Amino acid sequence: MKPQLAPTARFTTSLATLCLLAGPAFAQPMDFSTALQHMVDASDRLAASHLAVDSAAQQRHAIERLGGPSVSLTGATYAYNANLNLDLNPLGQALPGILAQLPPQLGGMVAQLPHLPASYTLNRHQTDTTASVNAVWPIYLGGATQAARGVADARTREAQADSTRVSDELATLLVQRYFGAQLANRAATLREAALHSIEQHDAAAQKMLDAGVIAKVERLQARSALEDARKNAQKARDDADLAATALTRTARADERLEPTSPLFVISQPVEPLPYFIDAALAHHPGLAKVAAKKAQASELHKAEEALRRPQVFAFGQREIKSGNADWVAGIAVRWTLWDSIDRNALEASSQAQIDQAERTGAQARSDIALLVEKNWLALEQARRQYFAQQAGVDLAAEVLRLREAGLREGTSTTLDLIDAQLNNAKVQTERAQAAHDYVLALAALLESSGLSDEFANYMARADVKVN
């Protein structure tokens, strides 16, 4: 006689068998850290945010030497034609008087010369080239160059904050998709395991009906329970396939992923609430972006003030040619005494932007602190919920064991056993759901605290694994 396995042992054995058969042969096993790195390397959205940071950094680098000297070369080739008309009538009118004053012999010789024309046109034309070197060095601009560099620095920090926010959001999305696929696969496996057992009981019920041990109505109830179990198992498997597809696309994998990192729970509470609030105030990308906006407004305000101050330049120019070249050098001062733009209004506008950024930052700090508290409470609630379900899990397993023993002894019906199996699968699925809620609450808490990079460390601290 073969030794019989205990009911829970048989259920576990069939569950393990189905776990091996549940996933398709082409699924690629991947743990969470590898999936995260895969997503980071392939995400177009994250790559775009990195390019935005690089663009802002290059703009900042481009104005690093703003306010320094600038040297330029100027060259030109030219041609010209100039005409000058001379009126000779006054000279012709004065010539007889001049001849009268000359000696007779000389005056006679001059008189024999042809008469002067009424006018004469002089013409000058030439083609030439010229080249010069020019230099300008701003000596004092009232702080405008420092303000421009400050604005560029703040824009780079803003782009970095946006990139960090995108990275944190994608990490949380991957947690949702990865462990959502893990939960859906576990639910489908439990449903399929229950279906496998119900199919066996359905066949046994048919034999019992043929032997006249049970009534036809009990047989029909078993058949109805089997159809419901088959329908629920198929739906659970379809949900698991959809979750796996979502995970594969989120991680940008070439083939379907099979998550290998299990759902988990840390049995002890995580750090107290003030720890996460302090971390959020120090690291949250939203606050970093608000701070960058305020810095931009402050630097623009400084630039507005710089336009009120005088500006001093050194300049020079020299022809590029051999010999005696022309050159000029000197210092120029420019001070705008009156302008068509209302500088006071611009200064008031920039100050209003600074005040707006301060109010926005204060509201953001309050909202983020509230969000952190909400997520911290949700995490603690999920932890307590998971362990509170242990009694229900033990009860469901014990009822299943009693129903199996009762069926062998004739004190339970097939329908009782089927109900016990379905309830056991339901309770285990609910507990896996509680672990899933815990993982999502942890990811949300870390994202709101600016600590999304610490998720792997918390996962390593977990002492409860839902395998």
**Tens of pLDDT along the chain (467 residues)?**
333 333 333 433 344 344 434 444 467 899 999 999 999 999 999 999 999 999 999 999 999 988 888 999 988 888 878 787 766 666 556 656 655 565 665 555 555 555 656 676 777 888 878 888 999 999 988 888 999 999 999 999 999 999 999 999 999 999 999 999 999 999 999 999 889 888 887 787 788 777 777 778 878 888 888 888 899 999 999 999 999 999 999 998 888 889 999 999 999 999 999 999 999 999 999 999 999 999 999 999 998 888 888 989 898 998 888 778 888 999 999 888 887 888 888 888 889 999 999 999 999 999 999 999 999 999 999 999 999 999 999 999 999 899 888 877 877 777 888 888 889 999 999 999 999 999 999 999 999 999 999 999 999 999 999 87
| DSSP reduced 3-state for 285 | helix
Which pLDDT value is given to residue 105?
Answer: 57
pLDDT value, residue 97 = 60
Is the Cβ–Cβ distance between 452 and 172 less than 8 Å?
A: yes
Distance CA 252, CA 203 (A): 45
The contacts of residue 436 (CB under 8 Å, 6+ apart) are 179, 180, 182, 183, 263
pTM, full prediction: 0.78
| Residues 315, 329 contacting (CB under 8 angstroms) | yes
CATH superfamily of 7-67+147-307+357-466: Outer membrane efflux proteins (OEP) (1.20.1600.10)
The CA distance from 244 to 258, in Å, is 7
Q: Which residues of 140-159 are buried (b: 16+ CB within 10 A; e: fewer)?
A: ebbbbbbbbbbbbbbbbbbb
Residue with tokens 């597809």: 245
Q: CA-to-CA distance for 298 and 426, rounded, in angstroms?
A: 59
Q: In what order do the strands lie in the sheet with 119-140?
A: 70-87, 119-140, 311-319, 327-334
Question: Residue 175 has what pLDDT?
Answer: 96
Q: So what's the pLDDT on residue 124?
A: 81
